[in-house]
Structure 1
Amino acid sequence: MSGIVGKASGLLNQVVTKSTQFANCAVYWGKVGAEVGKIVYKNEGLAPPSGKQFQEVYERALKFLKSSQQQKEFIAKAAAFKPTKECAVKATVYGTQLLAFFSVGEIIGRRHIIGYPSVGSHH
């Protein structure tokens, strides 16, 4: 009986130790991320948009949706667009960044770099 209690308490101690380590790590990296965010926020002069800016954007969007003339002009500009080498390079860079963010999200979601974790029994 004492062997079972010893194993159970050992397992419980391991779980508590691992969860404490995880919590400490999460708190540390959360604080580091917050400090880096503050530095970037201050140095870049970032600020959330004001209510007036939101209102201007929505007014322009509604005006565009209501005006068929503006829509026709936009379609004409889009049809006359001629891609350049610089445009292709920008699209490639943005596409690569998008793929990288997507891949990191997939890795985090799966908790594995390659493949999905096995769940249940395999036949």
Structure 2
Amino acid sequence: MATSRDQVDPAVPPSGTGCFECEEAGGWWVHLRRCALCGHVGCCDTSPGQHATAHFQGTGHAVVQSFEPGEDWAWDYERSVGVIVPTLAPPTSRPVGQSVPGPVGRVPADWQDHLHE
């Protein structure tokens, strides 16, 4: 099993300000998670796409950090535990003015009916 330290590269910037796959497909997300190893930004498991978990499953990159303003918690999918990671390269969150869910203009009116519990 890889250690959390093996799963973090603090020098890598995030892939963008929104979920990488949702941006490509014109989708939307609830909250964002950032891969601590490669910087991939994916949507949380409540979001329709669940792209952060899919990224872990496809790459084995186990550690994510919240990409929400004011949050610095991190999670190790492989061990199912919270972990502490060093400060990652900026920016460390989505833009403060970005809507939740987001992005504006792509969130359906009935968005709550599409959430994963």
Taking structure 2 as the reference length, the TM-score comes to: 0.19
- Which structure has the highest helix share of the two? 1
Taking structure 1 as the reference length, the TM-score comes to: 0.18
- Which structure has the highest strand share of the two? 2
Q: Comparing both chains, which one has the higher relative contact order based on Cα–Cα distances under 8 Å and sequence gaps of 6 or more?
A: 2
